[in-house]
Amino acid sequence: MITSCVSVANVLGGMAASEPTDVRTHRSPRESWCSSMNRPTFRRTASGVVAATLSAALLAACGGQDEDAADGAKATAPAFTVTHIGGPTTILEIGGLRLLLDPTFDAPRKYKSGLEKLRPPALGVDGIGRIDAVLLSHDQHDDNLDEAGRALLKDVPVVLSTPGARKRLGDHVTGMKAWDAQELKSASGAVEVTAVPALHGPDGVDRGADGEVTGFVLSGKGVPTTYISGDNASVKVAEEVGDRIRKEIGPIDTAVLFAGAARTPAILANAPLTLTSRNAALVAKALDPRKVVPVHTDSWNIYSEDLASLVKAFKAEGVDAKLVDLAPDGAPKSLS
Ligand SMILES: [Zn+2]
């Protein structure tokens, strides 16, 4: 079994992790915080995110229940959809939660790092609706977290990322090591988020702190097991994750693969830092998910292979039927 499963109190992310809790004599931060809350109300924040003062996820964690959502959950299974906003930035609606991957919402511009954003996001921050948690593969590269993305983190109840991201971004972020797990409660149940290894460069290369990145696996009762690669370039690493997930959780239903073969002359002489199109196809073949969601192939100058080349590679490997049509158009698409 996967170890290091953290209690539901950690749905509060950095708050729970940063404040000492002595349940014998004191109320935990969760109890104190929950007891001050009534029904969820939604507010528009300075950055434009519609944030719940108590989201469905947190309400359930606090032992309450969103009555409307609970009624709906009885009638139908929670939606399973993906909305591609551009680059790696994607909303996954799964297990009753709305999870945002690697927020980037800047207008086209150049960065000091040499990266350049080439097109605007398909949705602005004010168009994404409620977000229950951000799953941030890493914070140190503009194409995974840009300035507008960084600004919205403070308005999201839960941010899961790497230990380095927590150090740089603050206690609001939960720093997860490989195979740490967090349970996020929703009105319809719970989604377990497990951090999984990712290698931001070729096999055998250690990029140190600049290469620190995490993937994620989502699972749970009634939750389609979903692998999110993060900025991983290694077929081997993805295969090892796939083997362990299959053994400990079960078959992988959906894989969100960060492809695009990101390259820059400044790092490892233009070696691919994320999956090439062919390697993405090999990962799809090895992990054999029912569906593959390709992201991280558009909108930034460092991606050397586009969606068209990915489709070609998937056809060559005979796995193109798994591909979800995922132009970055901001429209929710069903994965059911
Ligand atoms: Zn990166």
Euclidean distance between CA atoms 171 and 4, whole angstroms: 20
CB 129 within 8 A of CB 111: no
pLDDT (0 to 100) of residue 202: 87
Q: For ligand 1, an ion, list residues with CB under 5 A.
A: 141, 231
115: in domain: yes
CB 313 within 8 A of CB 280: yes
pLDDT (0 to 100) of residue 335: 96
Residue written as token pair 């839960």: 158
Euclidean distance between CA atoms 181 and 129, whole angstroms: 26
Write phi, then psi, for 257 (nearest 5 degrees): -105, 125
228: in domain: yes
Domain extent for 33:
5-324
Rg (CA), the chain: 19
CB-side neighbour CA atoms (13 Å) of 331: 7
pLDDT (0 to 100) of residue 67: 43
331: in domain: no
Q: State the distance from the centre of ligand 1 to the C-alpha of 232, rounded, in angstroms.
A: 9
130: in domain: yes
303: in domain: yes
Q: What CATH number has the domain bearing residue 71?
A: 3.60.15.10
Q: Compute the average pLDDT of residues 162-180.
A: 97
178: in domain: yes
The yes-or-no verdict on residue 154 having pLDDT over 60 is yes
334: in domain: no
Tell me: the pLDDT tens digits for 47-74? Answer: 444 444 334 444 444 344 444 444 444 4
Tell me: the pLDDT tens digits for 223-252? Answer: 999 999 999 999 999 999 999 999 999 999
> What is the average pLDDT score of the chain?
82
Euclidean distance between CA atoms 14 and 22, whole angstroms: 17
Dihedral of alpha carbons 29, 139, 48, 80, sign: negative
Q: What share of the chain is helix, strand, coil (3-state, %, to 5)?
A: 30, 25, 50
* Structural domains counted in the chain: 1
Q: State the distance from the centre of ligand 1 to the C-alpha of 231, rounded, in angstroms.
A: 6
pLDDT (0 to 100) of residue 75: 56
pLDDT (0 to 100) of residue 211: 86
Q: State the distance from the centre of ligand 1 to the C-alpha of 54, rounded, in angstroms.
A: 32
Euclidean distance between CA atoms 116 and 113, whole angstroms: 9
Q: State the distance from the centre of ligand 1 to the C-alpha of 142, rounded, in angstroms.
A: 8
Predicted TM-score (pTM) of the model is: 0.80
336: in domain: no
